[in-house]
Structure 1
Amino acid sequence: MADITSDELKQRQQAGETPTIIDVREPWEFEESRIPGAQNISLGTLPTKLDDLEELKDQEVIVHCKSGARSASAAAFLKQQGFTNVRNLLGGIMNY
């Protein structure tokens, strides 16, 4: 599936949807600002959290970071691990 824009994500949230959102920034960045409903799993710890995410392999997972670069890496990694519906938030939280 294609990447997702901040406008599309906001519209879905306003419509009451609660997609799985993973913020791959560092915990201190997550504390400063966050997208409602996002969980924080920093890019560096993502490989150690795969077991916790196993149930999401066939569900939509939206990943984001500050600008979209780290989350693009996270999306590629998750796809390599068998996740079938990973979307990167274009422009990251800066665009949100």
Structure 2
Amino acid sequence: MTTDASRAAAFTPAALQHLIKTGDSPRLLDVRTPGEFRTSHIPGAYNVPLDTLREHRAELRRHLDENVVLVCRSGARATQAERALAEAGLPNLRVLDGGMTAWEASGAPVNRGEQRWELERQVRLIAGSIVLVTGVVGFFVPGVHLIGTAVGAGLTFAAVSNTCAMGLMLSKLPYNRGPRTDIRTVIASLRNRT
């Protein structure tokens, strides 16, 4: 029996490149924010942000088979998408090992657009800034340093649970949203793909 982790680890950028070159390309669902997708994505990928995928997983299920590869920056959000689709009755999906980071490092083709900071980098900036500022202000205002402690606790929980509340909040900002994903257009494209 294959576990989620071993399925994800077994599907490398090289394996995906091979499938694409042989004409047996799976459907690629990129679950990053529209802003991240516009910055760079695998040619032919459909952008279905994680929140949209969760909300419309039953609809998507009707137009997908098991020949799907889920993509995000590093694999964490794609793994969450895999679980959401499995709960909707679509098991055995694959997650691109290492996500776009590994895909780009392998020298594989990428469609590029306007460059912007990745969500994880934004989280590091905001969390680090909060800790730095509250640490300095804490020298003058007793108790302010506890805000930085709370941020540290939140980041620890994010690592343990493989979720990130700060990242979720930042993904809602206009900078990260980009054009809204029209799920009807995505589903029509999935339906019409031969």
TM-score (norm 2): 0.46
- Give the CA deviation at 1:36: 1.2
* Alpha carbons of structure 1 residues 52 and 81: separation in structure 2 relative to 1, 3 Å: closer
Partner of 2:63: 55
- Structure whose alpha-carbon radius of gyration is higher: 2
**Per-residue deviation, 1:61:** 1.3
Alignment correspondent of 2:102: 95
Please say which of residues 10-19 and 37-46 is displaced more in the overlay.
Answer: 10-19
Normalized per residue, the structure richer in strand is 1
The equivalent residue for 1:80 is 87
Equivalence map 1:1-96=2 (5 Å) = 2-3=7-8, 4-50=11-57, 51-56=59-64, 58-96=65-103
Give me the whole-angstrom Cα distance separating, in 2, the residues matched to 1:28 and 1:55: 25
How many residue pairs match? The answer is 95
Q: Which structure shows the bigger proportion of residues in helix conformation?
A: 2
In 2, are the aligned partners of 1:20 and 1:60 still within 8 Å (CA)?
Answer: yes
Q: Which digits, 9 at most, give the CA deviation of each residue in 1:17-74, with x for residues without a partner?
A: 2211100000000000000111000001112222144121x43211010000110111
Q: What is the aligned-residue RMSD (CA, Å)?
A: 1.4
- 2:74 maps to a residue whose letter is S
- Amino-acid identity (%): 37
Q: Which SS does the other structure have where 2:69 is aligned?
A: strand
User: C-alpha distance in 2, partners of 1:26/1:46?
Assistant: 11
The DSSP-based 3-state class of the residue aligned with 1:25 is coil
Instruction: State how far apart, in whole Å, the 2-side matches of 1:77 and 1:45 are.
Output: 11
- Identify the structure with bigger relative contact order (alpha carbons < 8 Å, sequence gap 6+): 1
Unaligned 5+ segments in structure 2 are: 104-194
Contact 1:18 1:37 in 2 (8 A): no
Gaps of 5+ in 1: none
Shift of 1:15: 1.4
